[in-house]
Amino acid sequence: MRARRIGDVSVGAIGLGGMPMSIEGRPDEQRSIRTIHAALDAGVTLIDTADAYHLYADDVGHNESLIARALATYGGDTSAVLVATKGGHLRPGDGSWTLDSSPDYLKSACEASLKRLGVEAIGLYQHHRPDPKVPYGDSIGAIRDLLDAGKIRMAGISNANPAQIRQAQEILGGRLVSVQNQFSPAFRSSDPELELCEELGIAFLPYAPLGGIGSAGRLGERFPAFEDVARARGVSPQRVCLAWMLRKSPVNIPIPGSSRPETILDSVAADDLELTDDEFAALDAP
Ligand SMILES: NC(=O)c1ccc[n+]([C@@H]2O[C@H](COP(=O)([O-])OP(=O)(O)OC[C@H]3O[C@@H](n4cnc5c(N)ncnc54)[C@H](OP(=O)(O)O)[C@@H]3O)[C@@H](O)[C@H]2O)c1
Protein backbone atom coordinates (compact mmCIF):
# COMPACT_ATOMS: atom_id res chain seq x y z
CA MET A 1 0.00 0.00 0.00
CA ARG A 2 1.20 3.53 -0.69
CA ALA A 3 2.23 5.56 2.34
CA ARG A 4 0.92 8.75 3.90
CA ARG A 5 2.26 10.66 6.88
CA ILE A 6 1.10 11.32 10.41
CA GLY A 7 3.69 13.58 11.96
CA ASP A 8 7.02 11.94 11.22
CA VAL A 9 5.48 8.47 10.94
CA SER A 10 4.69 6.80 7.62
CA VAL A 11 1.47 4.73 7.50
CA GLY A 12 -0.46 2.87 4.81
CA ALA A 13 -3.00 5.15 3.12
CA ILE A 14 -5.96 3.09 4.41
CA GLY A 15 -6.20 2.45 8.14
CA LEU A 16 -8.41 0.06 10.13
CA GLY A 17 -11.12 1.37 12.45
CA GLY A 18 -11.55 -0.94 15.42
CA MET A 19 -14.94 0.17 16.74
CA PRO A 20 -17.20 -2.50 15.08
CA MET A 21 -15.16 -5.22 16.80
CA SER A 22 -16.02 -3.96 20.30
CA ILE A 23 -19.40 -2.24 20.48
CA GLU A 24 -22.99 -3.40 19.84
CA GLY A 25 -23.04 -6.29 17.33
CA ARG A 26 -19.39 -7.16 17.89
CA PRO A 27 -18.20 -10.54 16.60
CA ASP A 28 -16.42 -13.23 18.60
CA GLU A 29 -12.75 -12.64 19.38
CA GLN A 30 -11.46 -15.15 16.83
CA ARG A 31 -13.12 -13.33 13.94
CA SER A 32 -11.81 -10.00 15.19
CA ILE A 33 -8.27 -11.35 15.44
CA ARG A 34 -8.56 -12.75 11.90
CA THR A 35 -9.75 -9.33 10.71
CA ILE A 36 -6.82 -7.49 12.29
CA HIS A 37 -4.33 -10.07 11.01
CA ALA A 38 -5.80 -9.81 7.49
CA ALA A 39 -5.38 -6.03 7.67
CA LEU A 40 -1.74 -6.38 8.74
CA ASP A 41 -1.11 -8.93 5.96
CA ALA A 42 -2.50 -6.39 3.48
CA GLY A 43 -0.14 -3.64 4.65
CA VAL A 44 -2.35 -1.73 7.08
CA THR A 45 -0.08 0.07 9.56
CA LEU A 46 -2.61 2.42 11.21
CA ILE A 47 -5.18 0.97 13.62
CA ASP A 48 -7.63 3.37 15.22
CA THR A 49 -9.13 2.56 18.59
CA ALA A 50 -10.37 4.23 21.81
CA ASP A 51 -10.76 3.25 25.44
CA ALA A 52 -14.51 3.82 24.97
CA TYR A 53 -14.86 1.10 22.31
CA HIS A 54 -16.48 -1.43 24.60
CA LEU A 55 -19.96 -2.60 25.44
CA TYR A 56 -20.40 -3.25 29.15
CA ALA A 57 -19.42 -1.12 32.12
CA ASP A 58 -16.85 -3.73 33.12
CA ASP A 59 -15.06 -4.14 29.78
CA VAL A 60 -13.64 -0.63 29.32
CA GLY A 61 -10.84 -0.72 26.75
CA HIS A 62 -12.13 -3.93 25.10
CA ASN A 63 -10.87 -2.77 21.71
CA GLU A 64 -7.46 -1.67 22.94
CA SER A 65 -6.93 -5.03 24.65
CA LEU A 66 -8.12 -6.87 21.53
CA ILE A 67 -5.66 -4.96 19.33
CA ALA A 68 -2.83 -5.61 21.78
CA ARG A 69 -3.61 -9.36 21.66
CA ALA A 70 -3.86 -9.34 17.87
CA LEU A 71 -0.47 -7.64 17.54
CA ALA A 72 1.11 -10.01 20.08
CA THR A 73 -0.14 -13.10 18.21
CA TYR A 74 0.67 -11.87 14.68
CA GLY A 75 3.41 -13.88 13.08
CA GLY A 76 5.06 -10.98 11.25
CA ASP A 77 6.81 -7.76 12.11
CA THR A 78 4.54 -5.20 13.79
CA SER A 79 7.17 -2.57 14.52
CA ALA A 80 5.78 -0.22 11.85
CA VAL A 81 2.20 -0.37 13.17
CA LEU A 82 0.86 2.84 14.66
CA VAL A 83 -1.95 2.28 17.16
CA ALA A 84 -3.96 5.46 17.57
CA THR A 85 -6.18 5.55 20.62
CA LYS A 86 -8.35 8.20 22.26
CA GLY A 87 -9.48 9.44 25.64
CA GLY A 88 -12.35 11.61 26.82
CA HIS A 89 -15.43 9.45 26.05
CA LEU A 90 -16.97 6.95 28.45
CA ARG A 91 -19.62 4.26 28.12
CA PRO A 92 -21.42 3.57 31.39
CA GLY A 93 -22.82 0.31 29.98
CA ASP A 94 -26.41 1.38 29.20
CA GLY A 95 -25.64 2.03 25.52
CA SER A 96 -24.96 5.73 26.04
CA TRP A 97 -21.74 7.69 25.40
CA THR A 98 -20.75 10.27 28.01
CA LEU A 99 -17.89 12.76 28.26
CA ASP A 100 -15.12 13.63 30.68
CA SER A 101 -12.26 15.78 29.38
CA SER A 102 -11.08 17.11 32.70
CA PRO A 103 -7.27 17.08 32.78
CA ASP A 104 -7.11 14.63 35.69
CA TYR A 105 -9.44 12.19 33.98
CA LEU A 106 -7.58 12.37 30.64
CA LYS A 107 -4.28 11.66 32.38
CA SER A 108 -5.68 8.67 34.26
CA ALA A 109 -7.37 7.37 31.08
CA CYS A 110 -4.04 7.60 29.25
CA GLU A 111 -2.32 5.59 32.00
CA ALA A 112 -4.97 2.87 31.68
CA SER A 113 -4.61 2.82 27.86
CA LEU A 114 -0.82 2.50 28.20
CA LYS A 115 -1.30 -0.60 30.36
CA ARG A 116 -3.87 -2.20 28.06
CA LEU A 117 -1.76 -1.56 24.97
CA GLY A 118 1.34 -2.81 26.81
CA VAL A 119 3.56 0.04 25.62
CA GLU A 120 5.78 2.62 27.28
CA ALA A 121 4.41 5.43 25.12
CA ILE A 122 1.23 5.57 23.02
CA GLY A 123 1.99 6.10 19.33
CA LEU A 124 -0.85 8.57 18.70
CA TYR A 125 -3.16 9.76 21.48
CA GLN A 126 -6.24 11.67 20.39
CA HIS A 127 -8.55 13.85 22.44
CA HIS A 128 -11.87 12.15 21.62
CA ARG A 129 -14.45 14.95 21.75
CA PRO A 130 -14.74 18.43 23.29
CA ASP A 131 -16.50 18.33 26.67
CA PRO A 132 -18.77 21.36 27.19
CA LYS A 133 -18.12 21.18 30.95
CA VAL A 134 -14.37 21.73 30.52
CA PRO A 135 -12.58 24.63 28.77
CA TYR A 136 -11.09 23.17 25.58
CA GLY A 137 -7.71 24.68 26.37
CA ASP A 138 -7.61 22.79 29.70
CA SER A 139 -8.26 19.46 27.95
CA ILE A 140 -5.62 20.08 25.30
CA GLY A 141 -3.26 21.28 28.02
CA ALA A 142 -3.51 17.79 29.52
CA ILE A 143 -2.61 16.28 26.14
CA ARG A 144 0.39 18.62 25.98
CA ASP A 145 1.48 17.48 29.44
CA LEU A 146 1.25 13.83 28.32
CA LEU A 147 3.44 14.67 25.31
CA ASP A 148 5.96 16.49 27.47
CA ALA A 149 6.05 13.58 29.93
CA GLY A 150 6.76 11.11 27.10
CA LYS A 151 3.55 9.15 27.81
CA ILE A 152 2.45 9.68 24.21
CA ARG A 153 4.63 10.04 21.10
CA MET A 154 2.18 12.09 19.04
CA ALA A 155 -0.98 14.09 19.75
CA GLY A 156 -4.20 14.33 17.77
CA ILE A 157 -7.71 15.68 18.27
CA SER A 158 -11.15 14.53 17.14
CA ASN A 159 -14.54 16.13 16.54
CA ALA A 160 -12.88 19.56 16.41
CA ASN A 161 -13.89 22.67 14.47
CA PRO A 162 -11.39 25.00 12.75
CA ALA A 163 -11.08 27.31 15.78
CA GLN A 164 -10.37 24.32 18.02
CA ILE A 165 -7.80 22.96 15.56
CA ARG A 166 -5.95 26.31 15.64
CA GLN A 167 -6.23 26.51 19.44
CA ALA A 168 -4.92 22.96 19.85
CA GLN A 169 -2.04 23.62 17.47
CA GLU A 170 -1.08 26.67 19.54
CA ILE A 171 -1.34 24.93 22.92
CA LEU A 172 0.64 21.96 21.64
CA GLY A 173 3.35 24.31 20.35
CA GLY A 174 2.93 23.21 16.71
CA ARG A 175 2.94 19.50 17.60
CA LEU A 176 -0.63 18.62 16.56
CA VAL A 177 -0.30 15.82 13.97
CA SER A 178 -3.88 14.72 13.22
CA VAL A 179 -7.54 15.64 13.22
CA GLN A 180 -10.15 12.86 13.20
CA ASN A 181 -13.58 14.06 12.10
CA GLN A 182 -16.63 12.50 10.53
CA PHE A 183 -16.49 12.61 6.74
CA SER A 184 -18.34 10.50 4.17
CA PRO A 185 -20.61 10.87 1.13
CA ALA A 186 -23.43 11.39 3.65
CA PHE A 187 -21.51 13.82 5.84
CA ARG A 188 -19.45 16.32 3.88
CA SER A 189 -19.53 19.26 6.24
CA SER A 190 -15.96 18.66 7.47
CA ASP A 191 -14.58 20.38 4.36
CA PRO A 192 -13.35 23.46 6.33
CA GLU A 193 -11.44 21.22 8.76
CA LEU A 194 -9.96 19.19 5.90
CA GLU A 195 -8.82 22.36 4.14
CA LEU A 196 -7.26 23.68 7.36
CA CYS A 197 -5.40 20.39 7.87
CA GLU A 198 -3.99 20.70 4.33
CA GLU A 199 -2.89 24.26 5.08
CA LEU A 200 -1.22 23.24 8.36
CA GLY A 201 0.23 19.99 7.01
CA ILE A 202 -1.75 17.88 9.49
CA ALA A 203 -3.21 14.43 8.72
CA PHE A 204 -7.01 14.24 8.44
CA LEU A 205 -8.54 10.92 9.50
CA PRO A 206 -12.10 10.67 8.11
CA TYR A 207 -14.17 8.61 10.54
CA ALA A 208 -17.32 6.69 9.63
CA PRO A 209 -16.08 7.15 6.04
CA LEU A 210 -18.64 4.69 4.64
CA GLY A 211 -21.54 6.27 6.48
CA GLY A 212 -21.19 4.45 9.79
CA ILE A 213 -21.68 0.87 10.98
CA GLY A 214 -25.42 0.70 10.34
CA SER A 215 -25.37 2.34 6.90
CA ALA A 216 -22.07 1.33 5.29
CA GLY A 217 -23.58 -1.64 3.44
CA ARG A 218 -26.12 0.60 1.70
CA LEU A 219 -23.65 3.23 0.47
CA GLY A 220 -24.31 2.38 -3.20
CA GLU A 221 -28.09 2.53 -2.78
CA ARG A 222 -27.90 5.84 -0.99
CA PHE A 223 -25.42 7.53 -3.33
CA PRO A 224 -26.00 6.67 -7.01
CA ALA A 225 -22.80 8.37 -8.22
CA PHE A 226 -20.78 5.87 -6.16
CA GLU A 227 -22.90 2.96 -7.39
CA ASP A 228 -22.43 4.04 -11.03
CA VAL A 229 -18.62 4.19 -10.79
CA ALA A 230 -18.59 0.91 -8.84
CA ARG A 231 -20.60 -0.88 -11.56
CA ALA A 232 -18.45 0.55 -14.36
CA ARG A 233 -15.25 -0.57 -12.58
CA GLY A 234 -16.59 -3.87 -11.27
CA VAL A 235 -15.71 -2.99 -7.66
CA SER A 236 -17.70 -2.19 -4.51
CA PRO A 237 -19.13 1.32 -3.92
CA GLN A 238 -17.29 1.28 -0.58
CA ARG A 239 -13.96 0.87 -2.40
CA VAL A 240 -14.91 3.71 -4.74
CA CYS A 241 -15.71 5.89 -1.72
CA LEU A 242 -12.30 5.34 -0.14
CA ALA A 243 -10.53 5.94 -3.49
CA TRP A 244 -12.45 9.23 -3.75
CA MET A 245 -11.15 10.26 -0.31
CA LEU A 246 -7.55 9.37 -1.16
CA ARG A 247 -7.81 11.39 -4.37
CA LYS A 248 -9.55 14.32 -2.66
CA SER A 249 -6.62 15.25 -0.44
CA PRO A 250 -3.07 14.06 0.19
CA VAL A 251 -3.62 14.48 3.94
CA ASN A 252 -6.66 12.16 4.01
CA ILE A 253 -6.09 8.80 5.71
CA PRO A 254 -9.49 7.06 5.98
CA ILE A 255 -10.04 4.56 8.81
CA PRO A 256 -12.93 2.33 7.65
CA GLY A 257 -14.27 0.14 10.42
CA SER A 258 -14.29 -3.59 9.86
CA SER A 259 -15.23 -6.75 11.68
CA ARG A 260 -14.55 -9.22 8.85
CA PRO A 261 -11.40 -9.92 6.83
CA GLU A 262 -13.36 -9.54 3.55
CA THR A 263 -14.37 -5.95 4.23
CA ILE A 264 -10.96 -4.64 5.28
CA LEU A 265 -9.34 -6.38 2.29
CA ASP A 266 -11.88 -4.79 -0.05
CA SER A 267 -11.21 -1.39 1.54
CA VAL A 268 -7.42 -1.68 1.29
CA ALA A 269 -7.76 -2.29 -2.45
CA ALA A 270 -9.01 1.31 -2.78
CA ASP A 271 -5.36 2.28 -2.87
CA ASP A 272 -5.09 0.57 -6.30
CA LEU A 273 -8.19 2.21 -7.73
CA GLU A 274 -7.16 5.26 -9.76
CA LEU A 275 -10.23 7.34 -10.54
CA THR A 276 -10.42 9.30 -13.79
CA ASP A 277 -10.91 13.06 -13.60
CA ASP A 278 -14.54 12.65 -14.72
CA GLU A 279 -15.23 9.96 -12.14
CA PHE A 280 -13.71 12.07 -9.39
CA ALA A 281 -15.73 15.14 -10.40
CA ALA A 282 -18.97 13.12 -10.37
CA LEU A 283 -18.22 11.71 -6.91
CA ASP A 284 -17.02 15.00 -5.49
CA ALA A 285 -20.06 16.99 -6.62
CA PRO A 286 -22.08 17.98 -3.53
N1 LIG B 1 -13.63 9.99 16.66
C2 LIG B 1 -14.88 9.62 16.74
O3 LIG B 1 -15.70 10.26 17.41
C4 LIG B 1 -15.33 8.40 15.97
C5 LIG B 1 -16.70 8.12 15.79
C6 LIG B 1 -17.04 6.99 15.04
C7 LIG B 1 -16.04 6.18 14.51
N8 LIG B 1 -14.72 6.46 14.73
C9 LIG B 1 -13.64 5.61 14.17
O10 LIG B 1 -13.81 5.53 12.78
C11 LIG B 1 -13.87 4.17 12.39
C12 LIG B 1 -14.76 4.02 11.19
O13 LIG B 1 -16.10 4.41 11.48
P14 LIG B 1 -17.27 3.35 11.66
O15 LIG B 1 -16.71 2.01 11.92
O16 LIG B 1 -18.21 3.93 12.66
O17 LIG B 1 -18.05 3.42 10.28
P18 LIG B 1 -17.67 3.05 8.77
O19 LIG B 1 -16.23 2.83 8.62
O20 LIG B 1 -18.32 4.05 7.91
O21 LIG B 1 -18.47 1.69 8.58
C22 LIG B 1 -18.06 0.52 9.23
C23 LIG B 1 -18.76 -0.67 8.60
O24 LIG B 1 -18.46 -0.70 7.23
C25 LIG B 1 -18.41 -2.01 6.78
N26 LIG B 1 -17.38 -2.05 5.72
C27 LIG B 1 -16.08 -1.70 5.85
N28 LIG B 1 -15.44 -1.81 4.67
C29 LIG B 1 -16.35 -2.25 3.79
C30 LIG B 1 -16.28 -2.59 2.41
N31 LIG B 1 -15.14 -2.45 1.73
N32 LIG B 1 -17.42 -3.03 1.82
C33 LIG B 1 -18.57 -3.16 2.52
N34 LIG B 1 -18.71 -2.85 3.83
C35 LIG B 1 -17.59 -2.41 4.45
C36 LIG B 1 -17.99 -2.86 7.97
O37 LIG B 1 -18.73 -4.05 7.94
P38 LIG B 1 -18.30 -5.39 8.74
O39 LIG B 1 -18.46 -5.03 10.19
O40 LIG B 1 -19.28 -6.38 8.25
O41 LIG B 1 -16.87 -5.68 8.41
C42 LIG B 1 -18.26 -1.97 9.16
O43 LIG B 1 -19.19 -2.49 10.07
C44 LIG B 1 -14.39 3.46 13.63
O45 LIG B 1 -14.16 2.07 13.58
C46 LIG B 1 -13.62 4.18 14.69
O47 LIG B 1 -12.29 3.68 14.75
C48 LIG B 1 -14.36 7.56 15.43
Distance from Cα 209 to the centre of ligand 1, integer Å: 7
Task: Report the nearest atom of ligand 1 relative to the CA of 209.
Answer: 20
Residue 88, ligand 1, Cβ within 6 A: no
Distance from Cα 186 to the centre of ligand 1, integer Å: 14
CA dihedral 237, 16, 286, 177 (to 10 degrees): -160
pLDDT of residue 139: 98
**pTM for this predicted structure:** 0.98
Q: Annotate 25-40 with b (16+ C-beta within 10 A) or e (fewer).
A: ebeeeeebbebbbbbb
Beta bridge partners of 89: 99
Q: DSSP alpha helices (H): ranges in the chain?
A: 29-41, 62-73, 103-117, 136-148, 162-171, 191-200, 219-222, 224-233, 237-248, 261-268, 277-284
pLDDT tens-digit series, residues 17-30: 999 999 999 999 99
pLDDT tens-digit series, residues 200-244: 999 999 999 999 999 999 999 999 999 999 999 999 999 999 999
What is the rounded average pLDDT of the residues 73-87? 97
pLDDT at 286 over 90: no
136 is catalytic: no
pLDDT at 91 over 90: yes
Give Rg (Cα) of the chain.
Answer: 18
Distance from Cα 18 to the centre of ligand 1, integer Å: 8
